[in-house]
Amino acid sequence: MDNTEVTNDLPSTAIRRPVLIVVLNLLIAIAGLSALYGLEVRELPDVDTPRVTVTANYPGASPETVDAEVTSRLEGAVARVSGVKNIYAQSEENFARVRVEFRPGVNLEDAANETRESVSRVQRQLPNEVENLAIIRADNDAQAVVSLAVSSESLDMETLTERVETDLAPLFLSIPGVADVNLRGDRARVLRVSIDPLRLTSFGLSMTDIANALQLAPFDVPAGSIQSADQALIVRADATSVSAEDVGNIVVTGDVRINDVASVYFGPADTSSMVRLDGRPVIGLGVIRQASSNTIEISDEVLASVKDLQKRFPELDIVVTADDAEFIRDSVSEVVVSLSLTVALVIVTLLVFIGSWRATIVPALSIPVSLAGALAIIWGMGFSINILTLLALVLATGMIVDDAIVVSENIQRRRAMGLGARAAAVVGTREVFFCGSSHYRSVSIGIYSYRLFAIYRRATIP
């Protein structure tokens, strides 16, 4: 009576059912190729902390006033948002900023919407002079991932600024993953009211009377700021649909109108920043990405939009001055080249030192099938192809080759001990195990999945 126990493990199954193993190998290869086109390519794993920044302008207010009347109320509003980890508030002259940092795993889109709702509930409590209240799904100090320079030979700076603000900036802002678009060197077209002090004094009026008249004007135009330059006081108002004649006909008191004491005209806004490219003034655009977004995907969309804009607006000259995705692409390409060279050198080295094509085929076939299976697992678990995961695959390639050689030598040793080819393949494969660890989850998944499929290959190609 035969008391031999039949074990239906992977090595014995590979010997008894070779067609099944061939089909499984093809399925693994197909899954790996499919995952390769769906994997996200990044520089590093997705470890960005979700952040939302709330900003507001309060013209003419001191830092103490901004902190008491604006920053504190905004800070209290965002504190009621769920998932908040840290809140950083900053009050400056004319400006308030509240940066909200959320716990890892919080959906940035939902957090931004909830922050927007919470801020809108306290917006009526803010002073009427507060303007440009904005909620940005990124750190306000974040650096732009793509920087552009826009210039024109036929358009002046005011017209160019209007074109950039109405046509270019909204297009880039609509790209998925973009949090904000910063403008530098822009000079918007504004309506200026230049007061003549002598004429003002002759009518017995003061600057307060002019400012009040402008603020009470029946136009949807904020009065702006009062400045002094070249013995003239300037009251600036944002130019929307209001004409210079409309403002000039505003009654100050009695029969005195704005035209009687001031000159009203359109002109460029005061410069707050200056950007030059090759010695000529340009408007700089900085595309800021959201937390957890993909820099390469944003860069590809921006570059495609630039080509389309150059066709739509031939009078504009749009130049890409900086692109962080270039460094990421080059880094990933270098690691991919290193991985390819590693595989090629391993196969050549094995062929030279072992001297047998049959013995070289085992690790040579183990590497691509194991790599395809590892890519499928990385995609299935939601990880990305980045420098760390690629380096993990490079590291695991050497381990897999070592394991394949050890299995081949163990099978040869069993055959030398008198076992048949099939029995030596099954017994020799069962005696080899693996181990390994890593502090990075994506790296661990890459190594373990790679080596898991390597074990499968060792068991199925004895």
Burial 354-390 (b: 16+ CB within 10 A, else e): eeeeebbebbbebbebbbbbbbbbbbeeebbbbbbbb
Q: Find all residues with CB under 8 Å of 234, minimum gap 6, and list them.
A: 192, 193, 194, 195, 226, 227, 228
Comparing 97-101, 127-131, 187-191, the range with the smallest average pLDDT is 187-191
pLDDT confidence band for 458 (50 / 70 / 90)? very low
**Nearest residue to 302 (alpha-carbon basis) of 178, 161, 165, 179:** 178
Q: Find all residues with CB under 8 Å of 134, minimum gap 6, and list them.
A: 54, 55, 56
**What are the angstrom distances between the C-alpha of 443 and each of 43, 321, 391?**
14, 34, 8
What is the per-residue pLDDT for 433? 52
Q: What is the mean pLDDT of residues 313-340?
A: 84
- The token pair at 380 is 């299935």
Q: For residue range 198-249, what is the model confidence (pLDDT) as tens digits?
A: 888 888 887 778 777 777 766 554 444 545 444 344 444 444 556 777 777 8
What is the per-residue pLDDT for 195? 80
Q: What is the mean pLDDT of residues 333-348?
A: 79
What is the per-residue pLDDT for 449? 53
- The token pair at 42 is 């990044």
**Nearest residue to 349 (alpha-carbon basis) of 325, 367, 332, 329:** 367
Q: For residue range 123-139, what is the model confidence (pLDDT) as tens digits?
A: 888 888 888 888 887 76
Helix (H) or strand (E) holding 263: strand 262-268
The gap from C-alpha 329 to its chain's centroid, in whole angstroms, comes to 15
How far is residue 317's CA from residue 309's CA, in Å, rounded to a whole number?
10
What is the per-residue pLDDT for 208? 78
pTM: 0.63
Q: Please indicate whether residue 82 or residue 332 has the higher confidence score (pLDDT).
A: 82
> For the chain, how big is the Rg over CA atoms in Å?
34
- In sequence order, the β-bridge partners of residue 289 are 178
What is the per-residue pLDDT for 455? 47
Is pLDDT above 60 for 81?
yes
**What are the angstrom distances between the C-alpha of 147 and each of 180, 333, 461?**
12, 23, 52
Count of positions (residues) in the chain: 462
CB of 11 within 8 A of CB of 430?
yes
The gap from C-alpha 32 to its chain's centroid, in whole angstroms, comes to 27
Q: Which domains does the chain have, with CATH numbers?
A: 10-38+356-460 (1.20.1640.10), 49-139 (3.30.70.1430), 189-268 (3.30.2090.10)
CB of 309 within 8 A of CB of 163?
no
**What are the angstrom distances between the C-alpha of 434 and each of 42, 389, 404, 437?**
29, 19, 11, 11
Among left, alpha and beta (phi > 0; psi -120 to 50; other), residue 44 is beta
Comparing 327-341, 401-415, 440-454, the range with the smallest average pLDDT is 440-454
What is the per-residue pLDDT for 232? 42
Is pLDDT above 80 for 120?
yes
What is the per-residue pLDDT for 437? 40
| Share above pLDDT 70 across residues of the chain, in percent, rounded to a whole number | 81
- In sequence order, the β-bridge partners of residue 322 are 147
- The token pair at 32 is 């790996």
- The token pair at 287 is 């595309």
To which residue do tokens 């900036």 refer? Answer: 169
Q: For residue range 160-171, what is the model confidence (pLDDT) as tens digits?
A: 888 888 888 888
> Amino acid identity, residue 447?
I
Q: Where are the alpha helices (DSSP H) in 67-131?
A: 72-78, 108-122
CB atoms closer than 10 angstroms to residue 135: 19
The torsion angles phi and psi of 235, rounded to 5 degrees, stand at -105, 115
When the pLDDT of each residue in the chain is averaged and rounded to a whole number, the result is 76
- In sequence order, the β-bridge partners of residue 281 are 276
Helix, strand, coil percentages in the chain from 3-state DSSP, rounded to 5: 50, 20, 30
How far is residue 220's CA from residue 130's CA, in Å, rounded to a whole number?
15
Is pLDDT above 70 for 301?
yes
CB atoms closer than 10 angstroms to residue 314: 9
What is the per-residue pLDDT for 241? 52
To which residue do tokens 């890593």 refer? Answer: 438
Among left, alpha and beta (phi > 0; psi -120 to 50; other), residue 276 is beta
CB of 76 within 8 A of CB of 90?
no
What is the per-residue pLDDT for 292? 67
